[in-house]
Amino acid sequence: PLQTSPQLPPLQQFGAELYQDVVNFNINNTSEEKVIESNWVSAYKGKVVIRHPFEGLSSMSLGVIFLNRNEEDQKTVKHEYGHCVQLDEVGMLKYLVFVAAPSVKGYWAGLSGPAYYSQPWEYGADMYGGVDRDEGYYEDSSLVNHLMYWDTVKKISFKSPIRKWP
């Protein structure tokens, strides 16, 4: 993030940081480090990244990556990009029902580490995002569970038959 004088009023500080981000903005950026170094907005592999300042609120993806400003782990950038790939693959409705909702539920339930990232939708985001976690990090059945879950999600149809009025 931009290092400016602490005497700047908050609005001017925000403006200076945002200006720096706009100057550095590259929608085709592939560097997780550049995302982490941004102040408020950047991009990663064609997806817009917005840095939010809300304490206690993690990062998330809804086609746009919302990354906590305190986040410094490049794996999180990759993971959230993986969620964007999932969204692109199945569409918003399926993504909300089969990825976002269970992800939020796991987060609110206090899951973390291997228990959280071994869930099928989280494991898939790691795979699609190219996250390299340590050997033996995931639970043993994570890959199989992800493949079965994702195959089922892709087969589900929310389309209803169109009926003509009598």
Residue 84 covered by a domain: yes
pLDDT at residue 100, rounded to an integer: 97
CA-closest candidate to residue 94, choices 155, 160, 143: 155
- Tokens of residue 33, six digits: 């480090």
Residue 75 covered by a domain: yes
Residue 85 covered by a domain: yes
Residue 4 covered by a domain: no
Helix (H) / strand (E) element for 61: namely strand 60-61
In the predicted model, residues of the chain with pLDDT beneath 70 are 1-6, 160-166
pLDDT at residue 55, rounded to an integer: 87
- Let me know if 24 is exposed, middle or buried by CB neighbors in 10 A (0-12, 13-18, 19+): middle
Helix (H) / strand (E) element for 67: namely strand 65-68
pTM here? 0.89
- Tokens of residue 130, six digits: 């190219």
> 67-108 pLDDT, tens per residue?
999 999 999 999 999 999 999 999 999 999 999 999 999 999
Residue 88 covered by a domain: yes
Residue 90 covered by a domain: yes
pLDDT at residue 166, rounded to an integer: 61
Residue 15 covered by a domain: yes
Query: What's the number of domains the chain is made of?
Result: 1
Residue 162 covered by a domain: no
pLDDT at residue 5, rounded to an integer: 59
Residue span of the structural domain in which 28 resides: 10-155
CA distance 119 to 79: 13
CA-closest candidate to residue 41, choices 29, 25, 60: 25
